[in-house]
Amino acid sequence: MLDWLYNIVGWVLIQIHSGLTALGLDPDGGWAWGLSIVTLTVVVRLIMVPLFVKQMHTQRKMQEMQPQMAKVRERYKNDKQRQQQELMKLYQESGTNPVMGCLPLLLQMPVFFALFSVLRSVAQGQAQYGFTADLVHSAQGALILHAPLAAQFTSSAADLEQYGANPVTAKIVIVIACVIMGLTTFLTMRQSIKRTAHLQVADNPMMQSQKIMMYMAPAFGLFGLGMPIGVLIYWVTSNVWTMGQQHFLYRKHPVPGADGTAPASSTPNTSAKGLLGKRKESAPEPVEQPKIERKQPKKQPRAKRSGGNPQKK
């Protein structure tokens, strides 16, 4: 189903490799193939820079909206449907789309899986996705720090030895790459959370879930044991790029209150107020009060009211 994407990623990787070999690098060496993957990663991340900037502004707006969102949740805590309606109104008035907060990651994942599939086919000796038999053989024999490009931790010793690699050394290199991958994933998430931690509400479920994901990030390195080392190069390069990109853009667009000044929510002219204006929440629908009917006493005959019989004249 995604063969068209695999073909694009394979073609781009081959073109970058051809360009690097034209500059004098050994076409069968690990430097040529390793730098091809690094260059592919940089190209993908450069294309996504505008999306990352949009993501950063979206996250900032979301943080500024937290006090008003908390009020909406508290006011309509017993009416989930009304609560969702008011939150959607809040998003619309601020021009915020929550999906933009995770869009760059969603767009990176197809490229990640495409590269994984391309390198897996290379490891299996399959000439597809733009690779010829000669290119497959060249990529299979490329050693990156004594580990074959398509090698995994689960690769057998015989498979590693046929490419001229020491099985023990190759697996040590793969383990180190997995540790670096998990560590850089943790640092990128910590960098993002630390930036807006002073704006978060203590019991905010979004903040709690982000912290849980951050501390689980090092465990992602375990998944790297089943990935080709070429994919680990892509992941580590992407994480290092993200850390540098976030550091530059966060300094250029600091969060109010991060430099020791009063945060936006504590000043009269708050950025959240400027962002959302004077928002008036929809008044709750009036509850119809039951009508009180007053029963008038029945008019009694005059004789009964006087307490005796009427006198005959």
70 domain residue, yes or no: yes
CB atoms closer than 10 angstroms to residue 96: 21
Q: What is the DSSP letter of 229?
A: H
The count of other CB atoms within 10 Å of the CB of residue 189 is: 19
Range(s) of the domain holding residue 115: 3-254
Total domains in the fold of the chain = 1
46 in a structural domain: yes
Q: What number is the average pLDDT over the span 79-99?
A: 77
In a domain, 53, yes or no: yes
- Residue found by looking up tokens 């976030």 in the block: 246
Residue 274 forms part of a structural domain: no
In a domain, 306, yes or no: no
Residue 219, token pair as written in the block = 């465990």
Strand partners, 147: 144
Give a yes or no: residue 296 inside a domain: no
132-156 per-position pLDDT tens digit: 999 998 998 888 888 888 888 888 8
User: Does 170 fall in a domain?
Assistant: yes
Q: What is the mean pLDDT of the chain?
A: 76
For residues 296 and 43, the model is more confident at 43
**pLDDT surpassing 70 at residue 285:** no
In a domain, 121, yes or no: yes
Tell me what the mean pLDDT of segment 249-266 comes to: 57
pTM (2 decimals)? 0.69
List the beta bridge partners of residue 143: 148
